[in-house]
Chain A
Amino acid sequence: MVIARPSHLVFTALLCATGVFAATFADAAWLRHRRADVMTQKRDLVARLQLTDLCLFTEARYTRHLSQADLHSAFQDHPLGLEHFPSGSLVPPPAHLMVPHEALDRKTEVPD
C-alpha cells in the first residue's frame, strides 16, 4: 500500500487552490458575458432618460445627484449648517478644500 507523502498532499491541495484561483477569472468572464445585456440595458436607460447619477443615497437632493448638486448644498440650512447625513462621511470633500494654504491669522512680533 502506497502512503501519500505530506508534500504530495500539499502540492495537490495547492494545485487545486491555484486552479480555483484561475477559475475565478474564468467565472468573472462568464458572468460578465451573461450580464452583458443587463449592462447594455442600464446604459440605454441612462442615455434614454438622460440620467446623470447613480441612485446610491436618496436622503438628500445633493446626495442623490452628487454631480448636479449646487456648490452651497453642504450649508443648505444655514451658514453653519454642517453636513449631517450619514453618506456625508462617505463622500469626499471638494478637492479645493483639501489643498493646504498659508495660515492667515499669524500675529506679528511687533504690534502695528
Chain B
Amino acid sequence: MKLWIEKQKYLIDFTLSSLARRKAKNVGLLLVYTLIVFLLASVMLFTHALRHEAAHVLDGAPEVVLQRMVAGRHDLIPPGTLERVGRIRGVQKKEGRLWGYYYDPVVKANYTFMAPSNESISSGTLVVGAGLARARGLAVGNAISFRSYSGKLFGFTIARILAQESELVSADLVLMSEDDFRGFFEIAPGYFTDIALSVVNPQEVRNVATKLSLQFPDSRPILRDEILRTYESIFNWREGIVLALASLSILAFAIFAWEKASGLSAEEKREIGILKAIGWETGDVIKMKFWEGALVSLAAFLIGYVAAYLHVFHFSSSLFAPVLKGWAVLYPRFELNPVIDGFQVATLFFFTVFPYAAATLVPIWRAAITDPDSVMRG
C-alpha cells in the first residue's frame, strides 16, 4: 500500500511539473473552469435559498383567499358575503381583508395600502415598510400626504417603520386604520377587498374551496398551496432563464475543455512517446493523465463553489443581482438564509468534475497504446 501511495505521489509530482511547463494554458483553463463552476453554483445556491425562503415565509399566508370577480376582474366583496362564507362547514375562521394599491407619482412606484384587522393603528397615523421609508426619506414622526383617487388630499403621521429584516414581504406596505382606509378609497362599511379563511382540517381545504366555488359562482378561491406553487414556478423559471443564458458560455467551455482534454498537442504526444521509450507502462501514462484531469477539475470545483457560496450568502449575490433578483423602484433589501441542498451540490460536482476527468483519459489511452517511435514522429 505504502509503495502504491509513493508511486502515485511520484506520478503527481511529474504531472505537476508537466502542467507547469504549459503554465499559461493550464492556468487559463483552470480560471475558465472555475468561473463556470462559480456561475452555475451561484445560480443554484441563490435560487434554492430564495425558493426555501419563499416557502417558509409564505407558510403563514391565509389558507384560502376568496376573491369576487366581476367581468373577469377582481371586485369588492359586498356586505353579507362574509357571514354566508362563515356558515360553510369546515370554515374555522373568516376575516374580511382591506387592501389596495396606490401609485405614488413622486417615486413612480406602487404601494400596497392595507388596514390590518389585528393591529391597532390610530387614525391619522401610518405604519410603513422600510423600503418605502427609504424611498421617500421618512422617519418616525414625519408627516406625509397622499392624494386619493377622488382628488382629496389626506395627511398622515408616520407612527412606526416596519423592521428592515422583513422587507422581503413588507417593503412597500402602508398600514393604516380601517376608518382611514375606507375614507381614503371611499369604500363603504361592510365591503371588503377579499376574504381570508382558515379551515378546521387541512385535508379539507380543497373540499371547502369547491364548496365556495359552488355557492359563490362569481368568486375565485386561491389556496395557500397555489400561492406556494406560484413562487416555486417563478423561481424555477428564473433559474431556467439564467441557465439558458449561461448555457452559451457553458457550451463554449465544453468545446474548449473537450479540445484541450481530448486532442493531444504534438508536444504532449512527444512527451508520451519519450515516457514509453524510457520504460513507462501504458497504465502509468494513463494514471498520470488521470491525475492531471482530476487535480484540475477538483481544484476548479472547490474554488468555484466556495467563491459562489461567499458571493451569494456573504456578498448578497452582487454580481448577478439584477438577473437573479429582478428589480423594482421599491426593491426590498434582503439577506437570504443559507440553505444548501446537498443533492444539488453532489449533482454539480458530478457534472463538472467527472466529464473533464473522463475526457482526458480516452486520447491518452489511444496515444499510450501506440508504438513510441510512431508517437514521437507524430
Contact = CB atoms under 8 A, between A and B. Distances in A.
Going nearest first, the 9 A-B pairs with the smallest beta carbon separation are A47-B60, A28-B338, A92-B237, A17-B302, A7-B12, A46-B60, A67-B227, A6-B16, A24-B309
Given A28-B339, A52-B61, A64 B114 contact: no
Nearest to B308: A24
B131 to A, nearest CB: 7
A4 B45 CA distance: 37
Interface string A47-64: 111111111111111001
Interface residues of B, number: 82
A7 B241 contact: no
Q: How big is chain A's contact interface, by range?
A: 35 or more
B17 A6 contact: yes
A57 B168 CA distance: 11
Nearest to B240: A92
Contacts of A59: 109-110, 328-329
A10 B57 contact: no
B196 interface: yes
Given A10-B16, A31-B338, A70-B72, A52 B62 contact: yes
A17 B165 contact: no
By secondary structure, the A interface counts as helix
B218 interface: no
A10 B110 contact: no
Nearest to B233: A92
Given A14-B298, A54-B169, A90-B241, A20 B9 contact: no
B57 A46 contact: yes
Interface string B223-241: 0001100110110111001
A72 to B, nearest CB: 5
Contact of B9 (A5, A21, A42): A5
B57 A54 contact: yes
Contacts of A13: 299
Interface of A: 5-8, 10, 13-14, 17-18, 20-21, 24-25, 27-28, 31-32, 35, 38-39, 41-61, 64-68, 70-72, 86-87, 89-92, 95
Contacts of B69: 70
B204 interface: no
B65 interface: yes
A48 B227 contact: no
A25 B303 CA distance: 15
Given A39-B53, A51-B169, 5 more contacts: A50-B61, A54-B168, A55-B173, A61-B110, A90-B326
A67 B169 CA distance: 14
A7 B299 contact: no
Nearest to A69: B74
Nearest to B229: A67
B66 to A, nearest CB: 11
B287 interface: no
Question: Which of A28, A48, A50, A65 has most chain B Cβ within 10 Å?
Answer: A50
A7 B60 contact: no
B337 A32 contact: yes
A90 B306 CA distance: 27
